[in-house]
């Protein structure tokens, strides 16, 4: 895919984000798009956000469950960028009108204290580089109409990242088995999703290992101070104005958010 087309598609996704209006799947008009092209489109979209004053503060990992991989016809996860304008704190409210078609999922967020540079990053390297973990809501959102996405569409669209909410407890992982940490997610006071860390590539650390090594192939790295969202622990939950969410992860803590 030529550079002019890449820039045009990245600009179209950025314009959809700003306008709050979804667009048709990119793969409808560009069925030849490769995943490598999609990451270039994502890069253009993020460059537009940075040019508008946003700052990249970490990464998110998506498509970490076998079910979603099978749905999208791929055998590996994807990633997107987190910026400072996406982050909300425990208990804050999110204007639903700022999103297009949001869905929330419970995740474990990693805070890094050391750089991670692939290739060759191992689980031990990730554990040594982690300052701590937090309960987190990722509110995924798609600029692609009706969530009609192929893997190239979601990668282009910054891995369908909307905003995210961090819990207020940073927990040392030395004595935690993150794969076995159970999650309970409530919507408006009712339990709607349960899950565990193992839902993300059998272990959330595996997801971060994959990301560090994937970035290494692209000549990039994870940096000290980065936040990394390690993938969904259970199913996504559609949300709208008036909804309240609360989740608890065993050994890690909780997180809550309200949509207005």
Looking at the predicted structure, is the pLDDT value of residue 10 above 90? yes
Among 24, 249, 6, smallest CA distance to 149 is for 24
Instruction: Evaluate if residue 146 carries a pLDDT over 90.
Output: yes
pLDDT at residue number 75? 74
Residue 200 has pLDDT above 90, yes or no: yes
68 pLDDT band (50/70/90 cuts)? Answer: confident
The pLDDT score that the predictor gives to residue 254 is 96
What is the domain partition of the chain in residue ranges?
3-259
Please say whether the beta carbons of 247 and 171 come within 8 A. no
* Helical (H) or strand (E) element with 131: strand 130-140
- Residue 76 is predicted with a pLDDT of 83
Residue 91's pLDDT is 86
How confident is the model at residue 143, as a pLDDT? 97
250 backbone dihedrals φ, ψ, rounded to 5° = -55, 130
Following DSSP, what letter does each residue of 118-130 receive, concatenated? -SS--HHHHHHHE
| Contact indicator for 104, 245 with CB cutoff of 8 Å | yes
Percent of the chain at pLDDT > 90 equals: 93
* Range 3-259 classified under CATH 3.30.360.10: no
């Amino acid at each position: 895919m030529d550079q002019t087309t890449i820039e045009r598609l990245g600009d179209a996704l950025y314009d959809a984000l700003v306008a709050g209006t979804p667009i048709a799947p990119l793969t409808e008009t560009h069925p030849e798009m490769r995943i490598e092209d999609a990451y270039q489109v994502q890069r253009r979209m993020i460059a537009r956000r940075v040019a508008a004053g946003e700052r990249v503060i970490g990464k998110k990992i998506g498509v970490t469950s076998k079910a979603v991989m099978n749905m999208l016809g791929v055998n590996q996860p994807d990633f997107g960028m987190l910026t400072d304008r996406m982050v909300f704190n425990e208990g804050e409210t999110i204007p639903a009108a700022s999103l297009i078609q949001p869905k929330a999922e419970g995740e474990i967020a990693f805070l890094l204290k050391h750089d991670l540079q692939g290739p060759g990053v191992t689980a031990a390297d990730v554990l040594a580089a982690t300052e701590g973990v937090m309960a987190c809501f990722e509110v995924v959102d798609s600029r692609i109409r009706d969530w009609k996405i192929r893997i190239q569409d979601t990668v282009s669209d910054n891995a369908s990242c909307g905003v995210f909410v961090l819990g207020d407890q940073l927990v040392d992982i030395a004595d935690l088995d993150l794969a076995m940490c159970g999650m309970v997610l409530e919507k408006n006071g009712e339990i709607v999703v349960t899950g565990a860390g193992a839902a993300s590539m059998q272990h959330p650390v595996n997801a971060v290992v994959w990301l560090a090594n994937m970035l290494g192939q692209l000549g990039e790295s994870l940096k000290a101070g980065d936040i990394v969202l390690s993938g969904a622990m259970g199913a996504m939950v559609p949300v709208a104005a008036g909804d309240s969410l609360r989740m608890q992860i065993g050994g890690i803590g909780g997180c809550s958010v309200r949509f207005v």
